[in-house]
Chains A and B, each alone.
Chain A
Amino acid sequence: MKKMNISKSSKNNMITYGIVIIAYVVMQILLGTGNISSLMKGMLVPLCVYAILAVSLNLTVGILGELSLGHAGFMCVGAFSGAFFSKYMVIAAPGMPGALRFFIAILIGAVMAGLFGILIGIPVLRLKGDYLAIVTLAFGEIIKNLVNILHVGLDEKGLHLAFTNTSIKMSENGTFIIKGAQGITGTPNDSGFTISIVLLLITLFIVLNLVNSRTGRAIMAIRDNTIAAESVGINITKYKLMAFSISAALAGVAGVLYAHNLSTLTALPKNFGYNMSIMILVFVVLGGIGSIRGSMIAAVILTLLPELLRGLNNYRMLIYAIVLIVMMLFNWAPKCIEWRERLMAKLKLGKAAKEVS
Chain B
Amino acid sequence: MKKLNKLVSVAVASAMVMAMMTGCGSDGNKSSGGTSDGNNGAATFKIGGIGPTTGGAALYGTNVQNAAQIAIDEINAAGGVNGYMLELNFQDDEHDAEKSVNAYNVLKDWGAQMIVGAVTSSPCIAVSEKTKEDNMFQITPSGSAVECVQYDNCFRICFSDPNQGEASAKYISENNLAEKVAIIYDSSDVYSSGIMESFVSGAASYNLNVVATEAFTADSKTDFSVQLQKAKDAGADMVFLPIYYQESSLILTQANAMGYAPTFFSCDGMDGILGVDNFDTKLAEGVMLLTPFAADAQDDLTVKFVSQYKERHNDTPNQFAADAYDAIYVIKAAIEKSGVTPDMSVSDICDKMKAAMLEINVEGLTTVGTGAGMSWNADGEVNKEPKAVKIVDGAYAGMD
Contact = CB atoms under 8 A, between A and B. Distances in A.
A and B from one complex: yes
Interface of A: 30, 34-43, 46, 141, 145, 148-149, 164-166, 180-183, 185-186, 189, 258, 261-271, 273, 287-288, 291, 293-294, 297-298, 300-301, 304-305, 307-308, 310, 314, 316-317, 331, 337, 340-341, 344
A271 B1 contact: no
Smallest CB-CB A-B distances: 8 pairs:
A37-B23, A38-B105, A42-B105, A263-B129, A264-B125, A38-B108, A39-B105, A181-B193
A55 to B, nearest CB: 15
Nearest to A265: B97
A41 B190 contact: no
B87 interface: no
Given A37-B26, A40-B23, A46-B98, A266 B12 contact: no
A182 B126 contact: no
Interface residues of B, number: 62
Interface string B65-105: 00000000000000000000000000110111110011011
Interface of B: 1, 3-5, 7-9, 11-12, 15-16, 18-20, 22-24, 26-27, 53-56, 91-92, 94-98, 101-102, 104-106, 108-109, 122, 125-126, 128-130, 145, 147, 186-190, 192-194, 196-197, 200-201, 213, 215, 217-219
A314 B53 contact: yes
Contact of A297 (B9, B106, B122): B9
B199 to A, nearest CB: 11
A106 to B, nearest CB: 19
A165 B97 contact: no
18 contacts: A37-B19, A37-B23, A39-B108, A39-B109, A40-B19, A181-B188, A182-B145, A185-B125, A262-B101, A262-B126, A263-B125, A264-B122, A270-B56, A270-B96, A288-B8, A291-B1, A291-B5, A300-B12
Contact of B98 (A262, A287, A305): A262
A344 B122 contact: no
B189 A181 contact: yes
A189 B102 CA distance: 16
Contact of B197 (A141, A166, A293, A341): A166
Contacts of A36: 20, 23, 27
Contacts of A38: 105-106, 108-109
A80 B317 CA distance: 37
A285 to B, nearest CB: 12
Contact of B187 (A166, A181, A304, A310): A181
A247 B198 CA distance: 41
Contact of A301 (B11, B95, B213): B11
B384 to A, nearest CB: 24
A141 B102 CA distance: 26
Contacts, number: 168
A305 B126 contact: no
B48 to A, nearest CB: 12
Given A262-B126, A304-B15, A298 B23 contact: no
Contacts of B190: 181-183, 266
A180 B198 CA distance: 14
The A interface is mostly helix, strand or loop, or mixed, namely: helix
Given A181-B193, A268-B95, A301-B12, A41 B187 contact: no
Contacts of B188: 145, 148, 181, 267-269
A37 B193 CA distance: 37
Contacts of B109: 37-39
A266 B122 contact: yes
B12 A39 contact: no
A35 B147 contact: no
A264 B217 contact: no
A1 B119 CA distance: 63
A141 to B, nearest CB: 7
A298 B101 contact: no
A141 B219 contact: yes
Contacts of B106: 38-39, 307, 310
B118 to A, nearest CB: 11
A182 B145 CA distance: 9
A39 to B, nearest CB: 4
Contact of B147 (A185, A189, A293, A316): A185
A271 B95 CA distance: 10
Contacts of B213: 164, 166
Given A166-B200, A181-B193, A288-B8, A308 B97 contact: no
B105 A37 contact: yes
Given A263-B125, A316-B54, A297 B105 contact: no
A135 B19 CA distance: 38
A270 B95 contact: yes
A164 B200 CA distance: 11
Nearest to A297: B12
B236 to A, nearest CB: 17
A264 B126 contact: yes
B27 to A, nearest CB: 6
A35 B189 contact: no
Contacts of A293: 5
A180 B126 CA distance: 18
Given A42-B102, A42-B105, A189-B129, A271 B27 contact: no
A65 B122 CA distance: 36
Q: Give the one of A37, A145, A262, A331 with max B CB within 10 A.
A: A37
A269 B200 contact: no
A42 B97 CA distance: 12
B85 to A, nearest CB: 21
B96 A268 contact: yes
A287 B24 contact: no
A317 B122 CA distance: 21
A13 to B, nearest CB: 13
Given A308-B18, A340-B3, 19 more contacts: A34-B27, A37-B19, A37-B22, A39-B22, A141-B219, A180-B193, A182-B190, A185-B125, A262-B101, A271-B96, A271-B97, A288-B1, A294-B4, A294-B5, A297-B9, A297-B12, A308-B22, A316-B54, A344-B3
A63 to B, nearest CB: 15
Contact of B122 (A39, A145, A268, A288): A268
A43 B103 CA distance: 11
B68 to A, nearest CB: 15
Contacts of B15: 300-301, 304-305, 308
B9 to A, nearest CB: 6
